[in-house]
Structure 1
Amino acid sequence: MTAARPVPLSVLDLVPVSAGSSAATALANTVDLAVAAERAGYARYWLAEHHLNPGVAGSAPTVVIGAVAAATRELRVGSAATLVGNTRGLQIAETFGTLAALYGPRIDLGLGRSGAPAPGTPKPPSLAPRSDQVVDGLLVPAPFDFHVAPGSRFALQGELLGRVPGDVDRFEGELELIRGLLAGTWSRDGAVVEAPPASGAPVELWIHGSTGGESARIAGALGLPYGANYHTSPGTVLASVEAYRDAFRPGVLDAPHVIVSADVVVGRSSSEAEELALGYDSWVYSIRAGVGAIAYPSPAAARRDPLDPAAAESVADRVATRFVGDAAEVADRLETLRRAAGADELLVTTITHDHAARVRSYELLGAEWAARGAGAVVGESALAAR
């Protein structure tokens, strides 16, 4: 199967910590993987933001972005996503302006909405239960209805980060501030306020979202590129992309532009990939259970301590939508995702217990993607090329 048109392939890195390892090793592994990803032809290397997770060392993505950019030459490097509910727009603009000043016009700023709504805000309806669907060959499972339980690690994150009710409602205002500061046009009382090194910084701005809600609407209304999550919210990814396209008006871009994420594991054979993929269900369950991501287990540990049936059922959607196989099998499934979602780019995240196997997974997939003529030139922004 051959992609209908060139589709850049990029990396999303959570900086996972393997069982028996350390956060310091995970961070060193991230830099090593980024160098390998550039060599293998990936277009972007994006870092996620997560807090209070023993099995994830990506709590300070802007610091890691600098380390990755320093170790690479042409690879675009950025965040997916910087959570506006956790910091202020001025700090975000200045930080990414600094990164662009240090490493040139290859820095991407992906923004995400987070936080609690103001008191009295109507709660969105619970996701209606429905059966799994297959859309143009892509499995779209019943949406997972996620709730933050009091006392969970998610609730503690909000407390320690200083989130207050209504934080999520300031997203549009902070976005306007960030855009204005980066453009060098934000003003107060009729005078332009400069925030060096943000002012005029060549930072590429994205909005990320998981549902067909406000993030998709805002990205579309402003004509910004949009990141949709199949890897964390496979049941809502098509609704998310549809909402973005429906809301799209020419702005920064003349036409919609979407990157879609996927969890993948590639082995030298299907059986090797299945072995490497063991432990993923326990890792996802630790997140959804509200205790924070555990250190990623080894295949042997995963076999010794499997999830009970109820726990396994609670993560079945994520396990079923992880693309596991040899390079050709995974590339075929990525092409199905591209076709079903109408993706302009694809973002893959791979977690295995063994770092060398993780690097090899990306290398095998990158070689297969390049052989199909599906990729793009490293360091060249797909947006700039439009």
Structure 2
Amino acid sequence: MSPASLSVLDLVPVSTGSTPAEALHRTIDLARHAERAGYARYWLAEHHLNPGVAGSAPNIVIGAVAAATSTIRVGSAATLVGNVRGLQIAETFGTLAALYGPRIDLGLGRSGAPAPGTPKPPPLAPRTDEVVDGLLVPAPFDFRIAAGSRFALQGELLGRVPGDVDRFDGELELIRALFAGTWSRDGSVVGAPPAGGAPVELWIHGSTGGASARAAGALGLPYGANYHTSPGTVLASVQAYRDAFRPGVLDAPHVIVSADVVVGRAADEAEELALGYGQWVYSIRSGAGAIEYPTPDEARATPLSDEAAAAVADRIATRFVGDASHVADRLETLRRATGADELLVTTITHDHAARVRSYDLLAAEWARRAAAEVTVAV
């Protein structure tokens, strides 16, 4: 089997000593490099009220990236339905497709609080770390303990109300109908130009074996599973999608799986570049909001407490750090264990040049392996 295609997930990180404007311009630069290096997709995430993340308006950044490139697919991972209405989503991505052609991807994610009285999900069953087909699958992190004031403030300012999460299926149906040009009211089709007929590739993203995975499978849509944010639940997520899959948009399941990586010219360089990740992840999981990404020296000067280190241990252990050969080996393991059709790589370092180089080194090694497999097959 030839290596799965590689794509980029960009959070538009802000490094200490820089500004959000600089981070946004660096995203454009990275996207151009990614296209030249052969990455298949360039996806933007949505985050709000985080000093260390400038990706708060991914739809605008998608347009800027699409304008600066010509062949790479560009899209969202994910547009959070709890934050905006389906009509706005369809019109926005229809506009992007009208401007930049059939290379726009719309990834949808479920967010928001359930309606009052909705039974709470049971606590996660205790489980220790496991190694499955060579892949570390840590004990799942219970995100409910991470709720903090920053999360609550986001919900307030975005106008979320209890029950928003329950809108997902209806909004998904609306978006699909608007793209298809079939949505009607009182027997009359209602168009939403330029959404109608827009060549937008629709994905659903999820972190668990829950409703998002089942919805993607039931509709025969492609699915994005998160190893980088929720490594302990990735196998359950992918399996739930495959179990629910019925031919629809696709004839067979199609999965992209994300991973955090840092590639250096040598292992010790990669380890140095990777410093600061623990502090950055903890700032998110604690509910304080992502900090500006520190330098290695700043990270060494502010070590995590034992409690904080334990709260991010799963993320540290599942980040692939090393030279290109080592990281490619780990990605091959991730692909094999999850059955991924594509892999979505996210890399954050303080230094922009090092981040670009990480993607370039990985792409070159991945292409070398693909060429070698073709040669062997011949």
TM-score by length of 1: 0.95
Which AA in structure 1 matches 2:273?
Answer: L
Structure showing the higher helix proportion among its residues = 2
Which AA in structure 1 matches 2:52?
Answer: G
In 2: Cα distance, 1:152 partner to 1:369 partner: 42
Paired position in structure 2 for 1:251 = 248
Which AA in structure 1 matches 2:82?
Answer: G
Which residue of 315, 328, 333 maps to 1:336? Answer: 333
Paired position in structure 2 for 1:201 = 198
1:187-242: CA deviation from partner (whole Å, max 9, x where unpaired):
11111111000010000000000000000000000000000000000000000000
Deviates most, 33-42 or 140-149: 140-149
In 1: Cα distance, 2:233 partner to 2:123 partner: 13
1:111-163: CA deviation from partner (whole Å, max 9, x where unpaired):
00000000010011111121100000000000000116665211110011000
Contact 2:3 2:369 in 1 (8 A): no
Which AA in structure 1 matches 2:313?
Answer: A
Paired position in structure 1 for 2:266 = 269
In 1: Cα distance, 2:6 partner to 2:122 partner: 35
Which residue of 69, 72, 78 maps to 2:69? Answer: 72
1:111 aligns with 2:108: yes
- After TM superposition, where is structure 1 displaced by more than 6 Å over at least 4 residues in a row? none
In 2: Cα distance, 1:253 partner to 1:47 partner: 23
Paired position in structure 2 for 1:169 = 166
Paired position in structure 1 for 2:361 = 364
Residues 21-100 of structure 1 correspond to what in structure 2 (within 5 A)?
Answer: 21-100=18-97
In 2: Cα distance, 1:242 partner to 1:189 partner: 40
Paired position in structure 2 for 1:190 = 187
1:157-198: CA deviation from partner (whole Å, max 9, x where unpaired):
001100000000010000000000011111111111110000
Contact 2:146 2:286 in 1 (8 A): no
Contact 1:231 1:322 in 2 (8 A): yes
Following superposition, the deviation at residue 374 of structure 1 comes to 7.4
1:332-361: CA deviation from partner (whole Å, max 9, x where unpaired):
000000000000000000000000000000
In 2: Cα distance, 1:355 partner to 1:126 partner: 40
Which residue of 215, 240, 261 maps to 1:218? Answer: 215
User: Per the alignment, do residues 183 and 363 of structure 1 end up closer, same or farther by CA in structure 2, a change over 3 Å counting?
Assistant: same
Contact 2:274 2:321 in 1 (8 A): yes
- How many corresponding residue pairs? 372
Report the secondary structure of 1:102's partner residue. Answer: helix
In 2: Cα distance, 1:374 partner to 1:242 partner: 31
Following superposition, the deviation at residue 7 of structure 1 comes to 1.0
1:306 aligns with 2:318: no
In 1: Cα distance, 2:39 partner to 2:148 partner: 40
Q: CA RMSD in A?
A: 1.1
In 2: Cα distance, 1:249 partner to 1:21 partner: 47
Paired position in structure 2 for 1:384 = none
Which AA in structure 1 matches 2:223?
Answer: Y
Which AA in structure 1 matches 2:308?
Answer: A
Deviates most, 304-313 or 351-360: 304-313
Deviates most, 260-269 or 181-190: 181-190
Paired position in structure 1 for 2:313 = 316
Paired position in structure 2 for 1:284 = 281
In 1: Cα distance, 2:130 partner to 2:2 partner: 26
1:15-61: CA deviation from partner (whole Å, max 9, x where unpaired):
00001110000000000000000000000000000000000000000
Contact 2:148 2:286 in 1 (8 A): no
Higher relative contact order (CA 8 A, sep 6+): 1
Which residue of 231, 235, 238 maps to 1:234? Answer: 231
In 1: Cα distance, 2:3 partner to 2:309 partner: 37
In 2: Cα distance, 1:296 partner to 1:250 partner: 43
Contact 1:8 1:374 in 2 (8 A): no
Paired position in structure 2 for 1:132 = 129
Which AA in structure 2 matches 1:293?
Answer: A
Report the secondary structure of 2:232's partner residue. Answer: coil
Contact 2:82 2:111 in 1 (8 A): yes
Contact 1:138 1:336 in 2 (8 A): yes
Contact 1:6 1:374 in 2 (8 A): no
TM-score by length of 2: 0.97
Report the secondary structure of 1:168's partner residue. Answer: helix
Report the secondary structure of 1:59's partner residue. Answer: coil
1:293 aligns with 2:286: no
User: Per the alignment, do residues 150 and 73 of structure 1 end up closer, same or farther by CA in structure 2, a change over 3 Å counting?
Assistant: closer
In 2: Cα distance, 1:39 partner to 1:84 partner: 32
Contact 1:113 1:215 in 2 (8 A): yes
In 2: Cα distance, 1:73 partner to 1:6 partner: 24
Identity of aligned residues (%): 84
Report the secondary structure of 1:373's partner residue. Answer: helix
Paired position in structure 2 for 1:383 = none
Contact 2:3 2:332 in 1 (8 A): no
Which AA in structure 1 matches 2:179?
Answer: L
User: Per the alignment, do residues 78 and 344 of structure 1 end up closer, same or farther by CA in structure 2, a change over 3 Å counting?
Assistant: same
Which AA in structure 1 matches 2:357?
Answer: R
User: Per the alignment, do residues 158 and 148 of structure 1 end up closer, same or farther by CA in structure 2, a change over 3 Å counting?
Assistant: farther
Following superposition, the deviation at residue 278 of structure 1 comes to 0.1
